[in-house]
Each structure stands twice: as C-alpha cells, then as structure tokens.
Amino acid sequence: MTDTLTSREDTHELLRFATAGSVDDGKSTLIGRLLFDSKSLFDDQWDAVEAVSAGRGDEYTDLALLTDGLRSEREQGITIDVAYRYFATPERKFIIADTPGHIQYTRNMVTGASTADLALILVDARKGLVEQSRRHAFLCSLLRVPHMVLCVNKMDLVDYDEAVFKRIENEFKAFATKLEVPDLTVVPISALKGDNVVHRSEHMPWFQGPSLLHHLEKVHIASDRNLVDVRFPVQHVIRPHSSDNHDYRGYAGQIASGVMKPGDEVMVLPSGFTSRIASIETADGPLDEAFPPLSVTVRLEDELDVSRGDMLCRPGNQPRVSQDIEAMVCWMDEARPLRLRGKYAIKHTTSDARAVVKDVQYQLDVNTLHRDESANELKLNEIGRVTLRTTKPLLCDDYRRNRATGGFIIIDESDNRTVGAGIIV
Amino acid sequence: MSDYRISHTAALEAEAIFIFREVAATCQRPVLLFSGGKDSIVMLHLAQKAFAPAPVPFPVMHVDTGQNFAEVIDYRDRRVAETGVQLIVASVQDAIDRGMVTEPPDGTRNRIQTPVLLEAAEKYQFDALFGGARRDEEKARAKERVFSFRDDFGQWDPKNQRPELWNLYNGRVHPGEQIRVFPLSNWTELDVWRYIGTEAIPLPEVYFASEREVVDRGGMLYAVNEFVQVRDGEEVFKETVRYRTVGDANLTAGVRSGATTIEEIIAEVESSRITERGATRGDDKTSEAAMEDRKREGYF
C-alpha cells in the first residue's frame, strides 16, 4: 500500500477542505451541489431530505438537512458541530469538514481547520464582507491552512455584476495581506444556479478563472508538506517476543515531516544519542524512503533506549527542546476558563506532559484583531497568547514551520475533557 | 518515489494504522469489535499490519445475536484461527436466558445487543473498543469523533463531544468509562471495497451474488432462512442477490446483483444510487434519528 501515486491503478489524491460560512451564505446549498453534481448524493438520502422538508412545509428542499445530522440541529435549524462529508471526482477524493459559522462555534471551526489543506470561505454578494468572513479568514490563517478560496456567492442576485465581485475581492485581499495567507483564490459563484461551481458560468464571461470544482481538483497540495525537517515522533515500540523475531525492536510511528532513508544518521531526542537507520519497514515490506503521512516502523543500527514520546531527527536539524512554551491558545471549554497559574495536561505529538499557565499576555478579538492585554483568563471560544511551563521538555517547532510538531491540545485532568488547542509561536 | 505523493487509499491506511497504534500505546485494555462484516474484516487486517511482525496486541469481541448468517460465523472462526487472536463472544441468547435482556415481540435483537455489549465491556474492563463505523454511512455518524467518549453508562452525548484537533487523539478515561475508536471514520463504502480488492482480503460468501429464495418486504429482498419465516400472503421467489452489509439475518436485505468478484462489486458500488444502509438495513428505518438514538444508548 505504500506504492507511489503513479504506480497505482487508483490514482486519487486526497484533499481535505473546511467550509466556513452560515446557512444564510448558501454553504449547505453549495455542498449539496458539489455532492449532487459529483454523484455522491444518493437517492435515498435525497428522498429522506425531501420528505422531511415537505413535512415541515418548506418551500424548497432544504439541503441543510443533508449535513445537519443531529436531532437538535434539525429541530433548531442550526449547525452545531463539524460534519464530515465525502465525495470523489475522477481527479481527487475530497473530505469536507463542514463547520458552523457562528462565533459561538469558533472551536468547531478551529477543529475543522486543523487538518484542512484548503479553506473555503463563503460570502453573500449582496452583503459583502461581514464580521464573520474576517473571523473565518483569521482563524484559517492562524491554523495555517495552506490554501484559501473565497467564494462570492449569490452572484445571480446581483445580476452577475463584475463591479460587485471586484469590490468584495479587493476588500478581502486588502484584509488578507494583514494575515498570513499563502495562497488565495477568489471565485464568483451561484451555488443555487450552479454558476462556476462545477462548470464555468456563461453569465460571467468577465471571469477568467477556473470553476470552484476545477480549482479543488487542480490546486497543488503536494508541496504543502514539510519534506525538509525530519521529525519522527515514536508512537509505539514493536517487540514481537517470538522465536522468529527474538531481537526485533522497531519504532512505530507516522512521519510528521521530512524524508527518511535507510543509512541516514539520526539523533534520538531528548537523549541526544545518534545512530543510523537500519531499515524502514511496513507490513508490505521495507521501503527505500519514507515521507509524510506514511505510518512505518523504523529500526536503528544501534541498541538505544528509545520509547514513546521520543523523537528521531537529523543531528544537523533538530527541533526546539524546551519547557517554556509560547503559544496562541483557542479555549474550548464551556465550564471553566483557562486561568493564570492553572494546571493542565497537554498532548503534543506522541508525548504527554503537564503544564502550568505562567502568563496570559493578551486576549485577541477575533473580529477586530484588537489585543486586550488586561485579560488574565480565556473563556470559551476566546483566543489569546499564553506562556506555559511544562513538566518535561517538548520537542517542538514553530507551528508556522511545522503543523505536526507545533500544535498541542490541552486536557483538563479532572474530567479528561479536551479544553483547548495550542499553536506554538 | 520521486514526487513523494501517495494515493488517498494509502493515506487512509496510514491514518488507520496510526490510530490503532495510538490506542495500543495509550489505552489499558483495548478490544476490536469483530462481527465478520466487511468493515470489521478490514479493521482486523489493518490491525495486523499496524503491529507486524508482532501479533495483534488485543483480543477481538463478537456480540453474537444468534441470528447471524452461518457463512459469516464460519468465516469469523476461520479468520480468528488464522490470526491467532483471542476471540471473546458476548452472547445475546445467553443474556436472554439469564433474563438480563428481554427479546422484543418482533424477534429482532439489534437493540438488545447494546446492554450485552456494555456488560461484556464492564466484565473485561475494556477501556477502548474499536468499531468499524464510517462517517459516510449515516448522518449521526458523520458527526462522530474518531475517539468517541462514552460515559459510565456507555452513552454518547453528541452535543458534548471532545474537540478533536490534528491527529492528537484524547483517549483518557476514568475507570468505567470508554472510548469507542473508529479507524475507518474517513473511509467510504467504495474505499473499503477498493482496499479489499488491492489487499486481496478474503470475505464471507454472502458478499457475493448467488441465487437465493427471497421474500419482498417493503421493496427489500430478505432471504428465507431460519430467521426469516415466510408470512401469510408473502410470495417466495428466486433472485440472484448479494449483501452490501451484513447484520442480523432477519434484518439485512440483499440487493439484486450479478457480482461474483470484488471487481464486479466495485463496479456496482461505483454506479449505485442508494446508500448501503438505505438499501439493506431494516434496523435504520425506524425513524429519522434511529441511529442517533441507538448510539446515545451505547450502540456500536
């Protein structure tokens, strides 16, 4: 299963994208259209949605019912949680993390964006940029989603007017320059009428760019991964204890970044001992090289003491080893805020530690980007810059350089809930 | 390997293997729920690959309703013997005999599996249960986490799920609580079939088309067997069918099909216009939120 793309019959590449926007922006209609036009929507799903919609007396079939899966969501007509949707075209397979847009669901937006290759932000052409659009763009840039697409929707309701589109595009681009958005594409669409969603629109000859789906199929994501810094967090030590494999000792894990090859010199952190890679193994046989996101088993030439939470890297390219962590934290707990001097468990790569909050430097208003330096706690859905001291050193990189070694979660030890997400800066 | 790209199937496999290893490394007593259905078959295959050359470091458990297809039980026992993994059977019949659960008047045992599952989990003190559920199956499942927390009563609270970021899964529980783990969360039905094809994983015979005596109930074709008795006024006829999912023999309908190989099944799945649960499962038809309700109670 570790063959390359080109040598396999099944040549689909995987693209994960997060959608942000509210029902009013036409997000559900857009997702419904992508599913429908790619034949990923099944007849019985459609029939069920149609029946519920008709039963409620809706004037048209409400595509939001497709994605709003929980009883309370359908009852209240709102999206509460991230829903995952899947569709495929001959070019690619797509995983959509459909996230609710309202501010009280910032944590869900952050969750959906954490694994996304691309973020799709919707605005209503009649309304232009609103507070919510800016917040979505900011969160996606904070989470370092490599590609961003702004869909200016409901172009049919503004007579497909180029001037309306240009105004919104320019305003958004001006805002995006203040953020870190590596790749931005802006597409005028009508999700309801289908303009520029799957096929290029006849109504907007002034728009020279590709349709949304064409862009999703073609956007170059292979370079998004960090193939430079070798980081291999050891997940599990494989020791068969059988007569056939008496001395076998392999370090199992998923490659976070970089390219590893047999013969490479590696350093084990935090011990600092060095060895060479004897082999990189999978159940299908050894590999000549391994890269993210492959799950492999690495064997070393020397007998070293290596366990879960340790990290393999190259001696000349090491992560930071530090107990003092500066991070942007998104707080996700309804019950209790993050507090100064609060103690929490954290999970970072395959490593568990405890941490104390030494300082809350500021709380950030995600709408205005204003910094409130008087804050000394973070409540649900608030984001702020925090200094932590950990019980043991974290083997980390700046999140900006490495999403896999720069992110961590915060766990409340009293009830084991995940209460926050941290981005190392 | 020049461009460092992998196919989406390889990416899904790498993700599933990561999840298996994460549970083995962080949970005290994991178990894999194994029914002999195709998703659990793929799970066991992935578990073997995750720990090779070591054996799978946890047992498998079958919640046996006693209403299974005979071919599936044969397959289960064969597969367990091949892998050398320990099999635990939690018997619904036994629970009925003990008076722990009561069989519903209609004879369906789908819903009474849940207390049997929870009892076995408590008896063996399992803190992590691998399930083969996929998010594309059903809309309540589309919202569920890969690591899904269950309280002391085995209940799922969909409005109070742990946020799940990056690949940092939180498997921490107090004694008596559990995590249900779904390594196939991001797989679709087609992904599962393609993977079975590329990995050449053997399946129980019921997945392939053969001629069976069936009755038509509300447009669904149920094979006549010891669990599906012909009712008054029903007409028995012969039809070539296969099963897209395999649940209880009295609740799972076949679909008309001539597919006798994995390649033919893949071709059919690619052109299908109906979801696999919609086409085949009587147990999901109860209400709009049938699956959500069962999951809240502690169902798979």
SS (H, E, C) B31-81: EEECCCCHHHHHHHHHHHHHHCCCCCCCCEEEEECCCCCHHHHHHHHHHHH
CA distances B116 to A8, A107, B63, B156, Å, are 43, 36, 7, 17
Contacts of B22 in chain A (CB under 8 A): 235-236, 350
Here the tokens at position B142 are 């589309």
A with B: how many residue pairs have Cβ under 8 Å apart?
A: 214
Domain boundaries A232-313, corresponding CATH code: 2.40.30.10
| Structural domain of B50 | 8-190+289-297
State which H helix or E strand residue A154 sits in: none
Taking only the tens place, the pLDDT of each residue in A318-337 is 999 999 999 999 999 999 99
User: Is residue B198 in a domain?
Assistant: no
Residue A240 one-letter amino acid: P
Does pLDDT of B271 surpass 90? Answer: no
- How many domains are contained in chain B? 2
Asked if residue B1 is part of any domain, the answer here is no
At residue B288, the pLDDT reads 54
Q: Which residue of B has its CA nearest to A66?
A: B139
Distance separating alpha carbons of residues A351 and B62, to the nearest angstrom: 33
CATH number at residue B131: 3.40.50.620
The reply to whether B293 and B273 lie within a common domain is no
- One domain, residues B27 and B121: yes
- Is B147 in the same domain as B250? no
**B259 & B293 share domain:** no
More confident residue, A416 or A135: A416
Q: What is the mean pLDDT of residues B43-58?
A: 97
Q: In this predicted structure, which of A159-173, A181-195, A264-278, B131-145 has the lowest mean pLDDT?
A: B131-145
Question: How far does Cα A312 stand from its chain's mean position?
Answer: 24
Q: Which residues of A touch B173 (CB under 8 A)?
A: 416
pTM value?
0.91
Same domain, B182 and B207: no
Q: What is the ipTM of this complex?
A: 0.91
Nearest by CB: B9 against A1, A238, A284: A1
In a domain, B197, yes or no: no
Do both B172 and B219 map to the same domain? no
Same domain, B19 and B79: yes
The pLDDT score that the predictor gives to residue B275 is: 67
Whether residue B181 is found in the same domain as residue B212: no
3-state helix, strand, coil in chain A (%, to 5): 20, 35, 40
Cβ of B165 and A235 within 8 Å?
Answer: no
Please state which of the four CATH numbers 3.40.50.2300, 3.40.1160.10, 2.40.30.10, 3.50.50.60 is assigned to the domain occupying A320-424: 2.40.30.10
CB contact under 8 A, B142 and A84: yes
Contact: A295, B48; criterion CB under 8 Å: no
> Chain B: residue nearest A83 by CA?
B143
pLDDT higher than 50, residue A247? yes
Q: Which two tokens stand for residue A120?
A: 């799709």
Q: CB neighbours of A7 closer than 8 A, spacing ≥ 6?
A: none
Does B12 reside within a domain? yes
Asked, colleague to colleague, whether A232-313 and A320-424 share their fold, the answer is yes
Identify all chain A residues contacting B190, using CB atoms and an 8 Å cutoff.
Answer: 88
Q: Which of A52, A89, A93 to mutate to test the interface with B (most CBs of B within 10 A)?
A: A93
Task: Work out the number of other CB atoms within 10 angstroms of the CB of residue A256.
Answer: 26
pLDDT (tens digit per residue) in B84-131: 999 999 999 999 999 999 888 887 888 888 999 999 999 999 999 999
Shared domain check, B161 and B211: no
Nearest to B275 among A45, A82, A345 (CB): A45
Q: Where are the domains of chain A?
A: 13-224, 232-313, 320-424
**What percentage of chain A reaches a pLDDT higher than 90?**
67
Is the pLDDT assigned to residue B284 strictly greater than 60? Answer: no
Structure tokens at A24: 């009013």
Of the candidates A5, A67, A297, the beta carbon closest to that of B5 is on A5
Say yes or no: domain A13-224 is CATH 3.40.50.300.
yes
Q: What is the tens place of the pLDDT at every residue in B225-268?
A: 878 888 888 899 999 999 888 877 777 888 899 999 999 999 88
pLDDT of the residue at A83 = 83
- Backbone phi and psi for residue B205, each to the nearest 5 degrees, phi listed first: -60, -25
- Pairwise CA distance, residues B63 & B65, whole Å: 6
**Is there a contact between A254 and B13 if contact means CB atoms under 8 Å apart?**
no
Same domain, B273 and B293: no
| Average pLDDT over all residues of chain A | 89
- Our CA-based measurement puts residue B91 at a distance from the nearest CA of chain A, in whole angstroms, of 31
pLDDT tens for each residue of A71-81: 666 666 556 67
Residue B283 pLDDT > 70, yes or no? no
